[in-house]
């Protein structure tokens, strides 16, 4: 079984985000990038399937700061191939990125067709679309998103997955392969890999570099302005020692009859 996993980098929102001088984008000077969390779950899901069924896992990512670390880590965890696609602006919209992947992937030997294509079901910078629905439509695969717990029956050519709804209710779906699944979660958190294994992957130099093929032009969304949200209201901030703050909160709770 061949599994293709798409990973991408997103701005780390634990860091303070600043607006650039143009007033409509993030200031790159202050940006730190981390791997999209859902993509990390997609990778873990693919590796669990490999552990169980002996699949071949190929990871593809667009070039971005720190992406080599992510790809080396994927190789160290057990991915068989890691491909970095260069030439697409890291801050481009999701539509443009999906279009670039759709134009490039068919030309990379051995990548498509895959039995299963996985990506995170969303990312924090998905303003104009989600990569799964866009790319699956472009390459002609059925798509199901918000899934976890993927179990594959290779003989039947099907996968059984759980799809999240609300209130903890899941839908159990049967999907005929090949298919594209947008991953929400996994049976367990992404695995830890010792740094020595990552160093070995770096030393092996296993990342394949591929230039992006040009596809149909995508008109980006016209972002007129970007700013930190102006809150309709704001919390009354309590300052002082932890003990003082706790006492004042206890006053508030007592006044409202909550204790």
Partner 1 sequence: MAGNVWIVAEHWRGTASDATRELLAVGRGLADSLGVRLEAVLLGHGMRGLAASLGPADAVLYVDHPTLADATGLVASRAVAALASERAPAVILLPTTNVSWDLLGLLPARLGVPLVNFCREVEVVDGALRVGSLLYGGKMAVTVDAGPGPVVLAILPGTGTAPAPGAPEPHVEDVAVDLADDSGVRLVAYEEPEAGDVDITQQDALVAVGRGISSEANLEVAEDLADALGGAVCGSRPVIDQGWLPLVRQVGKSGLTVKPRLYIAAGVSGAPEHVEGMKDSELIIAVNTDAGAPIFSIAHYGIVDDATDVLEALAEAVRKRKG
C-beta of 114: minimal distance to partner 1 in Å? 15
Exposure class string for 61-88: b at 16+ Cβ within 10 A, else e: bbbbeebbebbbbbbbbbbebbbbbeeb
Q: Return the structure tokens found at 31.
A: 């940006």
As measured in angstroms, the least distance from the Cβ of 178 to partner 1 is: 9
Spatial separation of the C-alpha atoms in residues 184 and 237, rounded to whole Å: 35
Nearer to partner 1, 206 or 220 (CB): 220
Q: Please, which contacts does 47-50 make with residues 24 or more away whose CB atoms are closer than 8 Å?
A: 47/77, 47/78, 47/79, 47/191, 48/186, 48/187, 48/188, 49/1, 49/3, 49/116, 49/150, 49/152, 50/3, 50/78
Shorter beta-carbon distance to partner 1: residue 18 or 66: 18
CB 6 within 8 A of CB 105: no
Is 3 in contact with 55 (CB distance < 8 Å)?
yes
Cα 208 from chain centroid (whole Å):
20
Contacts of 254 (CB under 8 A, 6+ apart): none
Beta carbon of residue 230, minimum distance to partner 1 (angstroms, whole number): 7
Looking at beta carbons only, is 204 or 223 nearer to partner 1?
223
Q: Which is nearer to partner 1, 16 or 29 (CB)?
A: 16
Q: How far is the CB of 135 from partner 1 (least distance, A)?
A: 9
Minimal distance in Å, beta carbon 226 to partner 1?
Answer: 5
Min. distance of Cβ 39 from partner 1 in angstroms? 13
């Amino acid at each position: 079984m061949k599994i293709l996993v798409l990973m991408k980098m997103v701005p780390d929102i634990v860091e303070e985000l600043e607006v650039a001088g143009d007033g409509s984008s993030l200031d790159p000077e202050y940006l730190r990038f981390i791997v999209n969390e859902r993509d990390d779950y997609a990778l873990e899901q693919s590796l669990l399937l490999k552990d169980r069924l002996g699949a071949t896992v190929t990871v593809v990512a667009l070039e971005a700061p720190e992406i080599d670390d992510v790809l080396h880590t994927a190789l160290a965890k057990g991915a068989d191939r890691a491909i970095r696609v260069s030439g697409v602006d890291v801050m481009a919209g999701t539509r443009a990125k999906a279009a670039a992947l759709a134009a490039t992937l068919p030309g990379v030997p051995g990548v498509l067709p895959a039995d299963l294509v996985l990506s995170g079901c969303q990312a924090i910078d998905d303003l104009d679309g989600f990569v799964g629905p866009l790319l699956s439509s472009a390459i002609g695969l059925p798509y199901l998103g918000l899934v976890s717990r993927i179990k594959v029956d290779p003989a039947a050519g099907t996968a059984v997955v759980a799809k999240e709804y609300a209130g903890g209710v899941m839908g159990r779906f049967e999907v005929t392969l090949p298919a594209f699944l947008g991953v929400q979660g996994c049976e367990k958190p992404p695995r830890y890999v010792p740094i020595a294994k990552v160093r070995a992957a770096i030393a092996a130099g296993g990342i394949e570099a591929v230039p992006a093929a040009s596809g149909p032009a995508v008109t980006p969304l016209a972002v007129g302005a970007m700013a930190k949200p102006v809150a309709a209201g704001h919390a009354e901030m309590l300052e002082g020692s932890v003990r003082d703050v706790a006492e004042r909160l206890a006053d508030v709770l007592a006044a409202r009859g909550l204790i």
